Structure 1
C-alpha cells in the first residue's frame, strides 16, 4: 500500500508519525472516508467542507486547493493500481510539546490512506440495538474525529459479523445512529431519521439522502424517536459513504417487510449519481 503524507507519496512502511503529534497524544484529528468510482471522488466537496469545519473547531489550521487534492488522489490511484477505491483523508494536529496546547496548530500532519474495495458489496444488513449508549459530543456538535472509543466498544459488543449493524440509543433512550452509519426508516410513506439533537454525526451520505428526498417531494421527519418507532417501520435502511444505502432486514430479530420501494429507489438514485456529482448541491 502507498499512502500520502505531508507532501509525499510513500510505501506505507516508510510513513512515520512523531510520538509528539497531538493527534496521537490527545486525539486531536479529523478524518473523512469516501469512495472513488472509476476515478471520480463522489461528493468530495461535501466531505472537505465537513473536514474543514471540524478542523476549525479543533484549532487546526489546514487548507489544500482542490487541484492539489485531485493530484494526491490521482497519484495514490496510480501507485496503488486502482480505479475504484476506499479513501481515508486524515488530518491530525501535528507536533507540539507534552501538555495541553491552547494555541493554533499551524503544522498539522496530513495522511491519506487508500485501499481496494471488495468485488461485491452487501445490499442489506440486520440491525441490533446496542446496550452501550451513544456518548454525547464533547463540543457543540459531533465531529468525525479520532475519538472513536465509543464506536470500538460498540463493535466489540456485536462482534465481527459484517452483516450486523449495531444501533446506538442516546443517553435519553432515543434512536441515534449506527456504529458506522446513519439510520432511516419509513412508515406510511414518510421517511424518519434521528435529529442531530441526539448527538449523531451529520453524515455526508445522510445529507445527500435528505437532499434526494426533498428534490423528489418525499416527506421526511428529523426528530427524537424511541426504538419502538424503528421496530414498527414499513422499511428501514442505514447509510454511509462506503457501503452506500443498505436495507435492514430486521432489528432485534423483528423482521421488516420485504417490500422496500423507497429504499430501492434511493439505491438506484445513488448508483446513478456516484460517478457524476462532486456535491449534493448539484442535485
Structure 2
C-alpha cells in the first residue's frame, strides 16, 4: 500500500480526494518543494521546508504547520512507504473556494498534499554530462517564489526535449538567469559564477549547498550576472538541482563547452557535494 499526506494526515493513496475548486487546480495558487531522499533520510530538509514557508509567506499563505512538524510528518511518510532513494514532493495551495480571482474569505483552510517517489541518482548524466540549449526567459518577475505556476518552465523544458537536450538555459536580454528546472553555473579561471539570488531566479537548495561547500574549500563562488556569450566561452558549465544534483553541461546549442567533457572543477564540486550527502544521509552509490 502506498501512503500520502493530505492536510497533515497520512492516509492511503486510494483515499485521497481533491476538490475541483481547489485553487491549486484552478489557478496554480500555491507553492511546492521537492526534497531528495538518500538512505531513507531527507537531504537538506530544513532548508527546503524553510523555503516553502518563505514562498508561502510571499504570496500570503499561512502554512498552518511548523517546519518542525512538517519534517516529522514527512519522515513518517518515508518510513511507511519504505523509501530508500527518491523524493518527497509536497505542495500547499490556498485551499478550496468558489472560483474567484481574489483571495477566498479569511479562515479558508489551505490544502497540503505530499507523496514519495522512488528515484535513483542520475549517475550517468552526472558522470558524462548533458547537452543544453539557450532560450528566452519568458517567465514572470517573481521567480524567487517556488510557485505552482510553471508554464514558462514547461515550455522551455519541452523545447529542450524536442531538440534532444537535457535542459534549457534561460536568458533575459542576453543575461543568463537559470535553467528551466535548475540553477546554472559556469567556471572561468577556477572561479564559479552564477546569477545573484534575486527575484529573477530561484535560490536553489543545491545552489545554497554548493555556495557553502565552495566557501569551506576556498573555491571562489561569485554571484554575478554573465552573458550568453560568456556561458558559451566558459571553461566549464554545470547545472544544479535537487534531482539532477551537480550535472556537467558539455554541449550548448550543439557546440562543446571547453573540451566537451566534464571539467576538473566540476568533478571536484561533485565530490564535495557527495561528501555532504554522505555526511547528512550516509554512504551513497557513486558508480
* Equivalence for 1:5: 6
Distance in 2 of aligned mates of 1:155 and 1:200: 16
Indicate if the aligned counterparts of 1:245 and 1:267 stay in contact, CA closer than 8 A. Answer: yes
Distance in 1 of aligned mates of 2:262 and 2:74: 39
Distance in 2 of aligned mates of 1:203 and 1:54: 12
Shift of 1:246: 0.4
Indicate if the aligned counterparts of 2:22 and 2:96 stay in contact, CA closer than 8 A. Answer: yes
Q: Which deviates more, 263-272 or 75-84?
A: 75-84
Distance in 1 of aligned mates of 2:38 and 2:18: 30
Q: Which deviates more, 54-63 or 155-164?
A: 155-164
Shift of 1:146: 0.8
Q: Give the alignment partner of residue 131 of structure 2, picking from 119, 126, 129.
A: 126
Distance in 2 of aligned mates of 1:13 and 1:26: 25
Distance 1:259 1:10, change over 3 A: closer
Shift of 1:127: 1.4
* Equivalence for 1:281: none
Indicate if the aligned counterparts of 1:94 and 1:105 stay in contact, CA closer than 8 A. Answer: no
* Equivalence for 1:23: 24
Shift of 1:168: 0.8
* Equivalence for 2:38: 37
Shift of 1:164: 1.7
Distance in 1 of aligned mates of 2:215 and 2:18: 44
Q: Does structure 1 residue 246 correspond to structure 2 residue 247?
A: yes
Indicate if the aligned counterparts of 1:204 and 1:241 stay in contact, CA closer than 8 A. Answer: yes
Structure 2's unaligned 5+ residue stretches are: 282-287
Indicate if the aligned counterparts of 2:249 and 2:262 stay in contact, CA closer than 8 A. Answer: no
Distance in 2 of aligned mates of 1:180 and 1:163: 13
Distance in 2 of aligned mates of 1:259 and 1:74: 35
Shift of 1:24: 1.7
* Equivalence for 2:221: 220
Structure 1's unaligned 5+ residue stretches are: 279-283
* Equivalence for 1:135: 139
Indicate if the aligned counterparts of 2:97 and 2:108 stay in contact, CA closer than 8 A. Answer: no
How many residue pairs get matched?
274
Q: Deviations over 1:211-239 (max 9, x none)?
A: 21122222232222211101111111100
Distance in 1 of aligned mates of 2:107 and 2:162: 37
Matches within 5 A, 1:147-226: 147-159=149-161, 164-170=166-172, 172-197=173-198, 199-226=200-227
Indicate if the aligned counterparts of 2:40 and 2:82 stay in contact, CA closer than 8 A. Answer: no
Distance in 2 of aligned mates of 1:194 and 1:272: 25
Alignment RMSD: 2.3
Shift of 1:14: 2.4
Scaled by the length of structure 1, the TM-score of the pair is 0.88
Distance 1:259 1:110, change over 3 A: closer
Scaled by the length of structure 2, the TM-score of the pair is 0.87
